[in-house]
Amino acid sequence: MTSAFLAFRDSPERRGALASPAGSPERYLLFGLDELRERGVDVAHNLEGGGPARWARLLGGAAKWVLERAGGYGGDFATVLSSLRRANRADVVLSTVDTVGIPLMLLERAGLLRPPLVYVAIGLPERLARLRTRRMERLYASSLASCAAVLAYSEHEAEALAAWLRERGRTTRVEFVVFGVDLERFRPGDAPSVDDVVSVGADPQRDFALLLRVAARLPETTFRIVTTPEHARALGQPSPNVAVETSLPFDEMRARLAGGRVVALPVRENSYSGATTVLLQAMALGKPVVVTRTQAIASGYGLVDRESCRLVQPGDEEGFARALAEVLGDEAVARRLGQGGRATVERHLSWSRYVDRIERLLRDAA
């Protein structure tokens, strides 16, 4: 039996998902942990106990300080160090986010992490661009090259990472893995619409400022934003037609998506985020979606403007407002987009297909 160790970012949401019973909707946040177990993979993870021990916090803090002083980019060394012994008992390690992936790849290069590492990159090109010295670039290039595989949820990000490595004389297996959505937990229903426009998201690339400007142009349209407290504070005082909610449980977040006539997902240009998770969830619910066409979703996801969703260029406030008004004002257009979005995720973007790819990468590496 293959044994895999999953390294998560330590967050209240992730710990809450791990504490919930199998089959709970929150378990969707665990990168296929339950499904891998069902397929015969012996899975452990780094959040099985409490927080990092004091020695790990001290040593991890020192390692991060030294690395960043030398021009590097740090991460959560404390969490990684405290679980290193358990990780070394596995056949393969999966890092689910750069926060723990960067420390793991550096420890692997140093010979302290022994199993092969499968590294999930989520915005890694932006982090590599922050390296301040050639010495750090060489260190990170050799550390990435030591990974058994590097995967990205954006075709553009995968290509950018492979090119970055080639420019520094390194190569490794870099793969684009299409993200997926649970087609049973997210399926069309007959719940009545509560809001005209709903936008859900927590990642730092969401362009809620643009959405607020669009809302001010459409005063008769109701908007609901579901996000983090940090994002909410940055919004200031929105116009009266905008409601803002923060830190909703998973089921309530899904209910907000289901209760919107249209889902709006404006995103700033970047290599990794096209609001992909919420985009696929909304499409699976059969909701018409207006989303920014970032490089992250421009290819690889089978999205077709006016068929599966409405795609708008980054920063195009006028275009975003026009697309929203068009979908809200024409039921036939909204219905066509909702049906097209659902058909797209059913064909190409299911959660089981995503877990298939993760399982294959883990077994190949092991």
- Hey, what's the torsion of the CAs at 165, 166, 169, 173, to 10 degrees? 60
Per residue in 206-231, pLDDT tens?
999 999 999 999 999 999 999 999 99
Residue whose entry in the numeric block shows the structure tokens 């001290």: 58
pLDDT at 159: 96
Confidence band for 26, pLDDT divided at 50, 70 and 90: confident
pLDDT at 119: 98
pLDDT at 127: 94
d(Cα 140, Cα 101) in Å, to the nearest integer? 12
- What percent of the chain has pLDDT above 70? 100
**For residues 140-151, average pLDDT:** 97
d(Cα 275, Cα 291) in Å, to the nearest integer? 8
- What percent of the chain has pLDDT above 90? 88
Topology agreement, domain 3-180+351-365 and domain 195-348: yes
**For residues 42-58, average pLDDT:** 92
CATH number of 3-180+351-365: 3.40.50
**Is residue 236 pLDDT above 90, yes or no?**
no
pLDDT at 25: 79
Instruction: Count how many Cα atoms sit within 13 Å of the Cα of residue 30 in the half-sphere of its side chain.
Output: 26
**For residues 131-140, average pLDDT:** 96
pLDDT at 195: 96
Confidence band for 27, pLDDT divided at 50, 70 and 90: confident
List CB contacts of 115: < 8 A, sequence separation 6 or more: 5, 87, 88, 90, 91, 92, 93, 366
d(Cα 148, Cα 172) in Å, to the nearest integer? 7
Q: Residues 25, 29, 33, CA angle at the centre, nearest 5°?
A: 95
**Global confidence as pTM:** 0.93
**To the nearest whole number, what is the mean pLDDT of the chain?**
95
Architecture of the 195-348 domain: 3-Layer(aba) Sandwich (3.40)
Q: Where are the domains of the chain?
A: 3-180+351-365, 195-348
**Which segments of 70-220 does DSSP mark as H helices, in order?**
77-82, 84-87, 98-109, 124-128, 134-145, 155-167, 208-217
Question: What's the one-letter identity of residue 67?
Answer: L
Kind plus residue range of the DSSP H or E element containing 93: strand 92-95
